Amino acid sequence: MIIFRNGLRLSSFFLAGSLLASLGGCASADRDGARALSTAGVSATTAISREVNARADRIADRAVTENFNYAYDSMRNCSAITTAGGGEPICDIVATAEGRRTAAVPALLARLGRVVRLRARAVNQLTAAYRALGADADFDARGQFETAIAGATESATALGTAVGLGPVPQVAGALLRIGGGQLAANAQQRRLIAGSARLQAIAAHLRAALAAEQALHQQVDDVAGTIEADARRNLAEAGLGQPLPPLKEVVAASGFPSPGDPALQAALSRSQRLAAAALVAGLAGRPSAGDGALAASIDVLDALIAEHREFEARRGLSLADLTASVARLTEIVTAARADLEDDDPPAEEED
């Protein structure tokens, strides 16, 4: 056996060299994994962000509609409607509007709207933190990641507090060891592993907040059908009901070939019975389809959290479940937006 002057055996030299090479390879693999995790996190949070935006619009619409319904029904017997105060409060526009701000349903919608706004901020901050994780893997951008993770933690804590969860739990320790108890090779590798754990804690807190938010949405959904049906009834009573949109839906559902909007409108003009039946279809409305988007968002976060666990255990990221969950959420949000657009009144044609 060859002996060096310092007494080290050649075999020991090669063993140390092999270990260093192995650790260097691990560090490279962890950088690659962190980049993949960064991309996956951005994809997941972006999909959830689209759902949040659609939901915020829907809540705002319901709040306006509820206040309209209340005022329209309540002022039915007013001999005079004023804005000057005095007389019956319900017959004064300003007094009625002030009273609606603290009424039960508007207050519930306002609380839910605030929760959704906080969730939008939390999701956006988490997206920024995932981008910063990728930058840290690429450029050792430690400061950028620390700033982003602080913002994500703060906004997730605000959301958690609003739904009764409190702050994001702190991740104990620096997680210096990786799969099999092996020491992380360098400072960057330790940061990436610890960064994943911190992001996972925020994602888990966001998931818990979504589950808590579901209960609030259920309360709204219990009255939402009535809100929307009453609005359609009030508009029809005021002579603003449009029979063409529901008639088109009936024609499509029956499988009967549509002759086109002009022919349908002409038929409505010829037949009072046809127009009345179409209005009945529109006023009856459709039952709520339930809140599939929130459940799909939770599925996305579950899949994302699973990827964190794989990364921290030094197993490869498959991303198949996460990709499928994101696709499902995107499909639900797209369908919901299309449904809302179908409910919009048709644009008037120019002469």
CB 206 within 8 A of CB 156: yes
Which residue in 343, 109, 337, 54 sits closest to 221, CA to CA?
109
Q: At what angle do helices 187-237 and 10-74 cross, to 10 degrees?
A: 20
Q: Is the pLDDT of residue 296 over 90?
A: yes
Length of the chain: 351
Q: Rounded CA gap, 57 and 32, in Å? A: 38
Centre a 10 Å sphere on the Cβ of residue 222 and count the other Cβ atoms it contains: 11
What mean pLDDT is reported for the chain? 83
Going from the C-alpha of 140 to that of each of 4, 34, 39, 114, 188, the distances in angstroms are 38, 12, 17, 37, 7
Q: What is the mean pLDDT of residues 276-301?
A: 83
Q: At what angle do helices 142-162 and 104-139 cross, to 10 degrees?
A: 160
pLDDT of residue 144: 93
Q: Specify the amino acid at residue 341.
A: E
Centre a 10 Å sphere on the Cβ of residue 183 and count the other Cβ atoms it contains: 12
Q: Rounded CA gap, 13 and 245, in Å? A: 81
Q: Please give the biggest Cα pair distance in the chain.
A: 111
Which residue in 67, 137, 131, 74 sits closest to 102, CA to CA?
67
Q: What is the mean pLDDT of residues 91-98?
A: 90
What are the domain boundaries of the chain?
24-240+291-343, 243-284
pLDDT of residue 46: 96
Q: Is the pLDDT of residue 2 over 90?
A: no
Token pair for 227: 């809100």
Bridge partners of residue 3, in order along the sequence: 9
Confidence of residue 86 (pLDDT cuts 50, 70, 90): low
Residue-wise burial string across 255-277, b where 16 or more C-beta atoms lie within 10 A, e elsewhere: eeeeeeeeebeebbeeeeeebeb
* % residues pLDDT > 90 (the chain): 50
Q: Rounded CA gap, 168 and 198, in Å? A: 10
**pTM here?**
0.77
Q: Is the pLDDT of residue 280 over 60?
A: yes
Q: Is the pLDDT of residue 326 over 70?
A: yes
CB 297 within 8 A of CB 220: no
Which residue in 225, 224, 229, 216 sits closest to 108, CA to CA?
216
Confidence of residue 152 (pLDDT cuts 50, 70, 90): very high
More confident residue, 197 or 232: 197
- Which alpha helices (DSSP H) does the chain contain, by range? 10-74, 93-100, 104-139, 142-162, 187-237, 244-254, 261-270, 272-284, 292-312, 320-343
